[in-house]
Every structure is written in C-alpha cells, then in structure tokens.
Structure 1
Amino acid sequence: MSPKKKAVLFFFVVLVLSLPLGFEYYSSQPGFCGSCHIMKKYYRTWNDSKHRNIACVDCHYAPGEQHTITAKFKGLSQLFSYLASPGSTVRKRAYIDDQSCVTSKCHPMDEKLATKKILFTENVSYVHKTHFDKTIEGQKLHCATCHNHTSSKAHFNVSEETCFLCHFKNTEFNEGRGRCYLCHEVSDKPLQKQFEGIKVVSDVKPITHRSLEEAGVSCTSCHIELVRGTGEIKTEDCLNCHEEEEATAKALDKKLMHEKHVAGQQADCFNCHESITHKEVDDILEVVRSQCKFCHPDHHMYQKAILTGEKLEGVPKTPALMTEVKTNCLACHTKKGVDAQGQPILRGSPEACAACHTKEHKNMLKEWQAAISKELTTAKNSAAEAESAISKVKGKVSKERVDEARDMLTKGKHYLRIIELGHGLHNKKYSIMLIDAAMNNFEDIIDDLNDNE
C-alpha cells in the first residue's frame, strides 16, 4: 500500500474512532442539553444561576458516572422524552445524587458546613446538621429534598413552603417542631411605641418578646394567624403517578410514603401534601373571629352528645331519629334571631318540623320540651334529696360508702347536665333514658343511706 493510501486510511480510522469521543464530549455540554425544546427554560434558569459554570452532567450524574455507558443510556431516555413529548415541560423529576453536591470541589460535608449558621431570610437562620439529625418518621433527607426546582424563575431554590410543611404538619402552635424559637430569636426589643429610639431607664420595665415568654404569655395572643393550613394528604392525586387505585389505600402510611417518596427522591412534597402558609395578615381580628374553635375549642359538645346518643354507663347508644338520613343542624335551625349579646343566630323553628313532616308536627317541639322539662324537674328534686341523704350520714357510715354515693351523685348530675346544656329535645328518647339512669342513681343513694341513718 502506498504511503498516500496509508495516510488516508489512518486519517479515516482516527476520524471514525474520534467521532464517538467527539459526540460524547459535545453531548456532555450544557448547550447540548439546552438545544431540546423541553429543556430551554431549565437551561435559561441554569444560565442565570450561581451554578452556570458547573456543567449539567456534574450535578445530574454522580461523581465518576458522567462519561459512562450508564450515563449515555440515561441521556437516551431524555432523548426519547424529547421525541415523544409535544409539550414544553419535563414530566420526570430530576434526580440529584447527594455525592454530586458534597464533592471536595463543591460543598464538602465537613464540620464547617454542617454547623455553619446560614442566614436563610432576614430573620431566620439555618443549620444543616440539625436537620440531618432530626427527621420525620421514614424520611432520609437529601440535598434535593430542600434544594429543588419549585419555580420557573429559578433553576432550584429552597422553598419556604417546604420548611413550613415539615415544621407545622401535625404540631400544635409553638410546640415540637413548630416552636417559634427554633427559627426566630427571642427579641429584647421593646414592643411599646413610647420606648422606640430612647434609652430605657432602670426603673421602667418595657414589654418585650422575652419578658412575655418569661411571664408565660402564649404566642397565640398576638400571632395565632401566622400558621394556616394542615398539610393534608391529597389521596386522589396518587393516581397522577400510580395506575392502581390500591395505591391510595397506603397513602396515610407515613413511614412507607416518606421512604418511597422522600428518601427515594421520587416525588416532591407537594405532589402529595396541601401547603401550609406562615405569614402575617392585614386583619388579624377577622382570622380569630371567623374561627369559633380558637375561643370555643369544643363548642356545642353537649348538643353533639345528645344528637349522637353516645353510650354511657346504664344508657345504650341511642342516636337521634334523623341521624340515619344525615339531617344536620341547619335542617331545623331556620329561624333568624339574636342571642343575649345581640349576635345574629339561627334558632330551631316549629315551622321546620312541619315543612318536612305534617302540620300536626308543628306542636311537637312544645310537647317534647314540656315532657322533658317535667321529668328533669323531678330528677333535680331527687338529686337534691340524694345530696341531703349524703350530708346526713357523714361520720355515721364508712368513708368508702360516702365516696361511692358521691360518685353516683356526680354521674347522675352529669347526665342531667348533658340534657340541660345539650337541649334534650334534640333527642327525646335518649334524654328520657339519661333521666332514668340518673334517677336510678339518686334513688339507690337515698334507699341505701336512709336505711343506715
């Protein structure tokens, strides 16, 4: 073979061998990633970020994996997504290996990074080690658990909503993971305007957050509106990722869900949870005014006890007659009125009975009320007689018998209290059964103690 042909052959062989290497190099460049229509906005946010000098493959592939066959097959999967998708978004969640972040060239997880107090916002600092040491059941936090893509304006960021979900889900206000001082320093700054900009003299004690904390004043006194929402699981959204409806049956298994989705980096928190907000509002009084449970944590508990006819000692479970057809308060409380404080309320109305039943039922409320009131008066008189019997035998019978009698008296009075405060006509049958049980207690006390007087 002539020297010329050898040279041509050598050049051709080199060209053939270098093409894969050249393509491998070209396909590892950020510009190649950004050439796909579904990647353009991600490329743009990357190019505007602090990581613009870090190639895509340095983060999206673990150290040592960037130039392997495995990496190329992963790239092919993105190519198939590109060819098959007419849309402009990537449906598959990006996976970032922690090792890509903590290499010696980037953010080595040494003591300095682990314990460094980082200013997250103007008033909130963050320490990595604290969050790795204390996680929620089933979780294994990864860098991308907090540092992820949540906005089209940034390639990735730390979303405050993620912080709020972990800190406030399943916690009482200012308790556990939701304690204020975990993120906020207790301030010594005076809260009264008269102390603004002046030196506080020694004999004047200004009100500060610290003085309020020391005095045991609850944070809810001023900040109850700051946390809203419960972060509930949206089980119907399971079907966005899972074909089988059986997947929803396991949705409330916290440990399993966190292992598969958080530790496994398969989903974003808000693919499953509703968000929790943590911010001030303009009208703080309206927040409290519209939520009765803030001031009345168990409002209408006696009415509910009467309507559900809960099982008690000596009284079987006896729900109100209309429970089976799911009749609620608004079916009967149709008449507009005002309470003792002048607040508008809805009262029970005889006309509501007639509207559903017959005209004859219009008198039913009065009849039931009269019957219950008569029986209740008799029971109260019997309670007074039982209490008198207990007083008369003090020192004449054993303390154990007196204590037993008092327990029976207390239980009977509690039954009458349910009827009075729950309005017995909500469930006439159950109310009469409560009165009978209470009367049995009172009469047993009277008979027992009078025999030994």
Structure 2
Amino acid sequence: MKRLFAALIRRPAVTALAAVVVLAALISGGVAATEYTSRPAFCTSCHEMTPYYTAWNAGAHSDVSCISCHVDPGLEAQVSHKFVALKEVYNHFTTDPKFPGAVTAVPDSRCLACHSGTIDTGIEGFSHETHQGSRSCVDCHASAGHTVTSVALAEAGILDTAAAQNRELLIFASAGRGVANVPGHMRVTCSSCHDLAATGCANCHTREAERHPQLASVTATTTGVGTSCTACHATAASWAFSHPDNAATCTDCHTTPAEHRTGACTTCHKTGVTWKFQHPQSTATCTDCHTRPAAHSTRTCITCHETGASWKFQHPTSKACSNCHKAPSRHYSGACSACHSPKVAFASAKFTHPGSGATCTNCHKRPSGHSSKSCVTCHKPGGSWRFYHPSSKSCSSCHSTPSKHYGTSCSSCHTPTKAWRSATFSHPRIPGGEHTYKSFACTNCHTKGYSSASCTKCHGADGPDDD
C-alpha cells in the first residue's frame, strides 16, 4: 500500500488522470441511477405500488412522471428524495407493508406548475377562487392521479377488504367527492340525499360538513334505505360502512347478477360485513341450485365431486369403471385396467396395448380363414401390432400348397414384393417361332404331363401361310 501511494506521488499526472476517470465514473453512474430510479416503471417494482401505477397509467396524468407530482423540482430536492426513499426500500425487504406506500402529501405548488390561471369547471355558480387559502388542490382532487379502488388494494395484498373500504370512504368524504363516486356504492346524486336549495354548495364544502359529524349539517329529502346515511353508515368521524342486517333486504340495494339463483340470499351467502358466498353443504342438495349438464352422470354429486368450497371433480379410484361408464360397442369385456393405464385422478385413462401380461387371443378372435400360427409370426408387436410379412421364412411355413400346384420353391414362379403382399405368377415366355422351351421342359413343372394341342389352337385358320 505504501508503495502504491509513493508511486502515485511520484507520478502526479497519472494520479490526476485516474482521479478524473474515477470521478467521471461515479458521476455518470449516479446520473444513470438517478434517471433509472426516477422512471414510473421503477416505482412498480414494489408490489404495494402496483395498484397506484396501474391507475396512474390508465388515468389523465399518465404523461406526467411520478416525481413531477411527488418530488419538488431541482437537483437538490431530487437527490435528497433518493436518500429518503432508501428507507422505503429497507421497509419493503424487511417488513410486510400493510398500508400503501403511495400515500404522500402533494403541495399546491406542484399542481400549479402545470395547472395555472383560472380553470373553468363548467359547474354553474362554482368558482375556484372561493377555495383559495382555505382548501388545497388535493382536498377535492385526491384521486386525480390515482383512482384506486379497495378491490385493487386487496388484490395487491396491501389491505384487507374491510379496512380498505373504511379507509376509502374516509378519503372520498374528506376529498369532497361524496358517495356518488365510491366504487360499489348504490347509484345516487346529490339531490338523492340533500336539499340543494336549502343547503347550498357552501354548506357541503366546509370541513365540518365533509365528514358529517352530525346530521344537522345536511338536509335529507327522504328517509328510505339508500337515502338516509345512517341506514348503512355508523355515525362517527369515519362514517364507516356497516351492512344493514335487519332494516333492509338485499334486493333493496343490490340487483341480482345474470344467471343468479333466485332463492333467498341467506341460503348461499354468509351474513356479516362481507356477505361472502358460502357453499351450503347441509341445508341443500346440489340439484337445488344446479342443473345437470347434458349427458351427465345421474349419480349423486359426491360420487365424483370433492366436497368443499370448489366442489372440483375427482375421479374415484376405488370404484369400478363400469359403475359410471358403459363399454363401447364391440369392446373387450374384461377389466378396464387390463388395457387402460390410470393416471392422476383418472383424468385421461389412455389405452395401452398390453405387451406381456396377456396374449392376443385373450382379447381378439381369429378372423375366418386366419393362420393358426402365433400372432407375433406375422404381426409386429407394438402400439399398432400391424401386419408384416416375414421374409426370412419359407412360404410353406404359413401357406399350404393348392391342389395341382407346382411343388418346388415359390420364388421360381412368384415374384415377391415388399412384405410379400402381392406375389404374382409370371410364366416364362416362349420366344416367337419356337414351339418348345429350350431352357427347360414343360415337364419340369407339369409333372403329370400336359395336353396336346392343334395348330389352330394357337394359330388362326385363315393365317397368311394357309393355302
């Protein structure tokens, strides 16, 4: 180490150049890291940010980067924010985040960097000027950048459904958006709950009225379920939603989905905050709610379906196949397992030809006129057991000689083809003008003699040589 320092001191030019290179590398690396971590896509690398990134990407501010709204402008502010964000990275890997990391204050200065001047909302009698100094932009526009629902939060594993709904109601109420914009809330307008002439916008846009600490701040036009807030919401600062169990029936607020069962909701839904679906196991049979598909088995559902939340199909391995399945026409009458190979849950019992456990005649009858030889003599063992003519055996091993047939080697007269499928007889030709074979005599094949013939049997009576 001392030698290295001594060498650097002796060569100041090299030392300076090395320092410049190292500094340049650090600067370029820092700039690249800053640029990369400032991208919106980097923000979604943490699962708790996914719902917010998805909502931002589909919203009106998708062309505005995350840091434009969440970080003050300037290099100093951005570098400082990187060090602050290191704590969030640490929490992501060392803890289990339960609350969205995207909740952060957005001062008006960042909004006004793009939205300056007077903005016409198109609402009669409304002006932004009445809110200056008493309201911040996010008081009314909290979801302008991210319209995230409780369902999206729950799916990301950030909040349970009940906690997300309570928090969401509080956010919408404090932002001045009202129940008309709460996802899943029944359809209402301002006039459904408020007498606009009696209250006016100012009465609803004050801090006290937004959270409704008491009903005196609003005037309800009706008191039926869905119009009176207390019918569904607890009278507290958060106005948390509490599902009315006794005051109303489900159909007062909810419409029945398409192809839904027409019975009472409590038959299948568990009463409580979530009213989640529970499959009735003891109070009803499957056919009370479900119709059998076409060509479905007529046996009881539990014969093939696993009891539980999903009632998924399971093939019973302990029962005989014939209990549920009929044998096809001309099917082997033995046990199914003799030819079919069972797999997991018998999902696809494919046919496997038994090669060693059985002989062919156990399942197959010999066709009429079939050889009595062993099947493997002419059939190739395997998946198809196709026929192949053994070329290494003599014809007489399988074929008997017809009556009055030439008794020597078959190949003397028959021309073998591939697999001996069509052995055709080819009689040796007699050259023209000759009346006998010079190479062999007829008696070589016709041992019992042959009949004599007249000339006219081969030559016409009026040939050119006739007188």
TM superposition score normalised by structure 1: 0.33
**In proportion to residue count, which structure has more helix?**
1
Q: Which has the larger radius of gyration?
A: 2
Between 1 and 2, higher relative CO (CA 8 Å, sep ≥ 6) is seen in 1
TM-score normalized by structure 2? Answer: 0.32
